Amino acid sequence: MIYTVTLNPALDKTIVISGFLADHVNYVEQMRIDPGGKGINISKVLNGLGVQSVATGILGGGTGQYIRECLDEYSIQHDFVVTEEPTRTNLKIVDPENHQNTDINEKGVRVSQDTVRKVMTKLMGKVVGGDIVVLAGTVPPGVNDDIYGEWTKSLHRIGAKVYLDANGMLLRNGVKAGPDLIKPNKDEFAGLVGEKKATIAEIAQAANEYVRQGIGQVVISLGGNGAVFVRQGEAIYANALKVPVKSTVGAGDAAMAAFLMGAERRESWEETIRTAIAAGAASVMCEGTQSVLLSTVENLKKSVAMEKISV
């Protein structure tokens, strides 16, 4: 089974404003509300791809209740720790005229250490050897930035695999525990290695160093320039697909879902990479943080081009 952990989920409010201007009155043309947060987004994509998962983490207040109701409507299994503190709301501004996407994210409310421990207790009571746990996104204020590293160690001890998608110190501390996959974007990877790499080959070589240190796979999203995929002894660069862009939010989560699906169905690495690129492209074609359609992903996979990189 796949478990997605979102300690700091959000209700994503996406608004469309053509010609959005700061310090001016702007009028909303379209609006939609979706349950969000990296782990929840990944579970939504998995659901669209026909793969089961269990979403867990922390939800609270009226916004948290709304997210749970949405997951029920989508038939996504979930088991969250429920608190009184309201789950945050994030604002996504899509400007189709200027081809810009602006995120305005709340930090989230402070939660107790007891609440965080309850999430881990739930996980440890359900996860068995061979399961995959996704630790994804930010954490609420007050939560230690070594939490993903510590949880990775605990989950590895019971034979589970851990896929990590985080940034900053959460990522830095998390990689020390040797997760089975990490998926930073180019800026997050630059923050991890301490410098930006100029070429695809340099990115692949830097990623390979982390593989040598014990990380199973490194997936680096380059946005509109594609992605680099590295595992033991192998590296592949795949191009990005040119598709109509409605929202860039959640494209990386869609790619992560593809890798989870590939692991669950024991697909080849190359097939998984094709699915990841196609799922990311399908995601940006959706409004807000809607789930992708499997039929769209399968169609887009036919256009994915890949090349091997020497490491």
Whether the predicted pLDDT of 290 surpasses 70: no
Whether the predicted pLDDT of 223 surpasses 90: no
Rounded Cα distance, 86 and 10, in Å: 10
Whether the predicted pLDDT of 62 surpasses 90: yes
Q: pLDDT tens digit string along 174-192? A: 999 999 999 999 999 999 9
The answer to whether residues 275 and 46 touch, using CB atoms and an 8 Å cutoff, is no
CA nearest neighbour of 16 among 89, 100, 91, 95: 95
Q: pLDDT tens digit string along 98-140? A: 989 899 999 999 999 999 999 999 999 999 999 999 999 999 9
Q: Look at residue 101 in the predicted model and tell me its pLDDT.
A: 87
Tell me which of 12, 34, 180, 253 is the catalytic residue: 253
Rounded Cα distance, 178 and 150, in Å: 11
Q: Look at residue 263 in the predicted model and tell me its pLDDT.
A: 95
- Name residue 54's amino acid: V
Mean pLDDT taken over the chain: 93
Query: Which residues share a beta bridge with 12?
Result: 34, 90
Whether the predicted pLDDT of 37 surpasses 80: yes
- For residue 145, indicate whether it is catalytic: no
Whether the predicted pLDDT of 292 surpasses 90: no
Give residue 289's pLDDT band: very low, low, confident or very high (50, 70, 90).
low
Q: pLDDT tens digit string along 227-265? A: 999 999 899 999 988 887 776 667 889 999 999 999 999
Q: Look at residue 252 in the predicted model and tell me its pLDDT.
A: 86
